[in-house]
Structure 1
Amino acid sequence: MLPNYDDLGPIQSKEKSTCIETNRALRFLKFQRSSCTLLIILNSKMPNPVATFNTTMGVIKAEIYLDRVPITASNFIDLAKTGFYNGLHFHRVIPDFMNQFGCPNSKDPNSRSAGTGGPKDGEFLNLKTGATEKRFGGGNIKDELISKDSNEPGTLSMANTGQPNSGGSQFFMNVAHNDFLDWFGPGESKHPVFGKIISGYDTCVKISQVPTRNDNPRTPIKMESVTVEGI
């Protein structure tokens, strides 16, 4: 006996409807899975970038605290990526204290103006928030007095003139625990930490111990290049 196709019609429509609903459910689950994956990526803690300092006395690597002081870190990264630091010299080194670097006038290691310069005014991207930040008043950035990281041995800290919002491109590498420089301490000096050496600290110490004249190395110590990875 031949089947009654009129009777099969409703059955086929029901199966088709079930199939459509199943596909919709699968697509919804797939969307939810994608959304969850995206949220996990956005909310996950990304590792901080790492800067490599290639000096004539060796290589130093440091974690840059983009997660803690994003304006200060982004300013440094922007300068490094544009080649600002390449070819400059350490202009002030003091044993059991620190090594200072980052003045554009130090391209000539014997320049009397080494230690007095900074970057040009302009804008740079805050790599954490996406906001546009500014260098002003001679290449200075806003003091970022947020993270209570002390000026411990191996930390990178912003140099300034002693006045508020006067940091720009210059910074120093601590070779002692200079807690009197902490912005959150009782002293007048306010130098926020924005990174810490993760390898090559021995090179940093050796730099601080070279013979000097008025704190300037007698034999120039050149920064061949500064590169940043992980951003």
Structure 2
Amino acid sequence: MAQYTPAYQPNGNEIAVIETSKGTIKVQLAGADAPIHVGNFVELSQKGFYDNLKFHRHVPNFVIQGGDPNTRDLDSAQVQMAANNPFGGLGTGGPGYTIREEFTTNPNNSHEDGALAMARSQDPNSAGSQFYLCLGPQHFLDPNYTVFGQTIEGKDVIGQLRVGDVIEHITIEGAND
């Protein structure tokens, strides 16, 4: 799959406003630390890529994960059923390209409670659109997954999210035009 470099250049002021079926989460994006990941996330968000996708993975005290386009045409109950089926196909979708890892170059790559990071397959350079939010510190992930934001509002919302909950829309405040 082709490696993609986003055209969007982060300015360091971007805040992702993630509207979910459980409430709003605000994440300060780390454009200086992970410019490829932030640029990619901003571009996908501004295109409406994440609109109406569902969270497809929840591991208590670990992560809540979303951003798989394979959830777009499923309702919440269908996502819940597929999430419990190893052949359900959830967790495999992406934007049709991958981006380069930045966990080796990000000086602040720390999986704190509420950290926003990119999911990937075994290939370190396989992230695309799927992201996760940490449910508590997960520092064992630091050497292998790129953190590109930190929650500044809505950690209570993150704690309520479950499989099948909806990402209604993501707006990027402070983004360059």
- In the alignment, is residue 200 of structure 1 matched against residue 154 of structure 2? yes
Q: Deviations over 1:159-215 (max 9, x none)?
A: 0112120111001000111111112xxxxxx101000101001100111xx5xxxxx
Aligned to 1:164: 124
- Point out which structure has higher relative CO (alpha carbons under 8 A, 6+ apart): 2
Aligned to 1:76: 41
1:115 to 80, 91, 94: 91
1:149 is displaced (CA, Å) by 2.2
Assess if the C-alpha contact under 8 Å between 1:106 and 1:115 holds in 2.
Answer: no
Aligned to 1:15: none
Q: Show the 5 A alignment for 1:56-205.
A: 56-107=21-72, 108=74, 109=76, 110=78, 111=82, 112-120=88-96, 139-144=97-102, 145-147=104-106, 148-183=108-143, 190-205=144-159
Q: TM-score, normalised by structure 1?
A: 0.63
Provide the C-alpha distance between the structure 2 equivalents of 1:93 and 1:200, rounded to a whole number of angstroms: 17
Looking at secondary structure, tell me which structure has more helix per residue: 1
Question: Across the two proteins, how many residue pairs are aligned to each other?
Answer: 152
Q: Deviations over 1:77-120 (max 9, x none)?
A: 00000000001000001110110010000111425222110002
Q: Deviations over 1:128-179 (max 9, x none)?
A: xxxxxxxxxxx11011121132111010011011212011100100011111
| Structure 1 segments (4+ residues) deviating >6 Å | none
Amino acid at match of 1:114: L
Q: TM-score, normalised by structure 2?
A: 0.82
After TM superposition, the structure 1 stretch with the greater mean CA deviation from structure 2, 93-102 or 139-148, is: 139-148
SS at match of 1:53: strand
Q: Which runs of 5+ in 1 are unaligned?
A: 1-45, 121-138, 184-189, 211-216
Assess if the C-alpha contact under 8 Å between 1:48 and 1:67 holds in 2.
Answer: no
> Who wins on radius of gyration, i.e. which is larger?
1
Q: Which runs of 5+ in 2 are unaligned?
A: 1-10, 83-87
Provide the C-alpha distance between the structure 1 equivalents of 2:68 and 2:158, rounded to a whole number of angstroms: 18
Q: Deviations over 1:4-36 (max 9, x none)?
A: xxxxxxxxxxxxxxxxxxxxxxxxxxxxxxxxx
Amino acid at match of 1:141: I
1:47 is displaced (CA, Å) by 4.6
